[in-house]
Structure 1
Amino acid sequence: MILSDFLKSVAQFDDPKFRRVLWRGMGLTIALLIAACLLVNFGINQLLSSAWAANLIGDQSWLGALINIGGVLFTIALSIWLMVPVTSAIIALFLDEVAQAVEARHYPHLPKQTATKLQDQILVGIRFLGILLLANIGALILSMILPLLAPFVFWATNGYLMGREYFQMAAMRRMPRAQAQELYQRHQGSIWTAGILMAIPMSIPLVGLFIPILGAATFTHQFERLRAWPSG
């Protein structure tokens, strides 16, 4: 069932709406991460130019340069770790477009859905981004302590969050929030499984950047399938 949802999403990747969302999401992600690198670099330079830092380092300018370079390299490494989760959060801004494309091709019998307000999309995206960043920074720290568990921590964390947020966002397009949360709770196991299956290829360089949009489509299919099941 989950595999069928995913394969239908892959088959629709030729849809211009999918590709438009993909390029916008990746562009915003890269811009955000570059801005973060520049901000860290600026902060380090400001810190090194302060009086107490000058007294601490003294005339050893090479130490200041080393700290500067180390800070930038750390930020770049952190950006690589966070690129896919950040892409997932940003593409959540455009989930409505992906869901509309999926419904137009696979569920044309559904009544027309009014587009989600841009303000609501931005608030959802910011909330999801904050949750993902905090969770992945925590996962990164845990992975540094237990490196052998790193991939499993990444898959479990992002699978859970991506499944919960994407599924409920897809559900709330068609039902009240309370009903969407109840449906999620009823099928939480299968939704988390789907999220983990999305998160595994997310850890593959470059391939992972395509997964969030496929995830948005997959959870739209999963929602339509699960809400048709009897609740008893």
Structure 2
Amino acid sequence: MLIQTVIAAARDVFSPALRRILWKSIGLTIALLALVWVVLTRLLDTFLSTHDLSASYPILDSFAFFLAGFGLFLGLFYLLPAVSAIVAGYFLDDVAEIVERKHYPADLPGQALPFGKAILYGLRFGALSLAVNLVALLLLFVPGINIGVFFIANAYLLSREYFELAAGRFWSPEEVKLLRYEHRGTVLAAGAVLAGLVLVPILNLVTPIFGAAMMVHLHKGLMARRLADGRAGSPLRVEVGRRAS
């Protein structure tokens, strides 16, 4: 199922129907990263200007500027998953509506999250992702661990956020949590795909739209599997009935 889901999402991302949203998503992602770059640069300039190293340690001063530039670039790389979470919260319903209408016209359409709730949801996951990736950044100089921590942490976080956003169009938060736990292996594997995409320069800019489309397809596939297994209806009611039997 996962391979078919990835292929379907890849086709959708560059389709004419989603192309406009894709460019908007890339533009917003770059704008947010540029804003972070400006803020970090100003803070760094303020620090270096109040701690003048050039007079006593000219070599150290030059090294500090070089390290600062490289460090800012690397920091933005670790911030990208958090930015992706915010952008995904903004565009997911638009992407989901197009994917559902194109591929699942016979199904009842999902209900869009209120705009404020979607943004707050994205900001919440963005903050969580930021905290986790800052820890991964602190492990930068621990060979063999830093990339592993970055990948595993973001596979979990991205799988959780994108799946909850996509499934939340149809189910309550409690039902979505139950679905994610029931299919945790498949959902986490989808998150691993997103975490791998984040590691690829340039292509990582399409993560919000690709992730949204992929999780819509994944949720639909899981629902079709549940229907085939005779577990149609509310996941919460099915689980309560199973425990009672």
TM-score by length of 1: 0.84
Q: 1:100 — aligned with what?
A: 97
Q: Which of 169, 173, 177 in structure 2 is aligned with 1:177?
A: 173
Q: Distance in 2 between matches of 1:10 and 1:202?
A: 15
Q: Which of 152, 156, 166 in structure 1 is aligned with 2:148?
A: 152
Structure 1 residue runs without a partner (length 5+): none
**Alignment partner of 1:29: what SS?**
helix
Q: Distance in 2 between matches of 1:81 and 1:58?
A: 30
Aligned residues: 227
In the alignment, is the contact (CA less than 8 A) between 2:85 and 2:122 conserved in 1?
no
Equivalent AA in structure 2 for residue 177 of structure 1: P
Q: Distance in 1 between matches of 2:54 and 2:7?
A: 61
Residue 121 of structure 1 deviates from its aligned partner by 1.8
Structure 2 residue runs without a partner (length 5+): 232-237
User: Deviations along 1:138-174, whole A, 9 cap, x unmatched?
Assistant: 12323431x2244433321111111111111111111
Cα 1:45–1:192 change in 2 (3 A) is: same
Cα 1:94–1:18 change in 2 (3 A) is: same
User: Deviations along 1:22-53, whole A, 9 cap, x unmatched?
Assistant: 22222222222222222222223333444xx3
Q: 2:8 — aligned with what?
A: 8
Q: How does 1:133-148 map to 2 (within 5 A)?
A: 133-145=130-142, 147-148=143-144
Q: Distance in 2 between matches of 1:177 and 1:37?
A: 35
Equivalent AA in structure 2 for residue 201 of structure 1: L
Cα 1:194–1:97 change in 2 (3 A) is: same
Q: Which of 221, 227, 233 in structure 2 is aligned with 1:225?
A: 221
Q: How does 1:111-126 map to 2 (within 5 A)?
A: 111-126=108-123
Q: Distance in 1 between matches of 2:84 and 2:17?
A: 17
Q: Which of 50, 65, 77 in structure 1 is aligned with 2:74?
A: 77
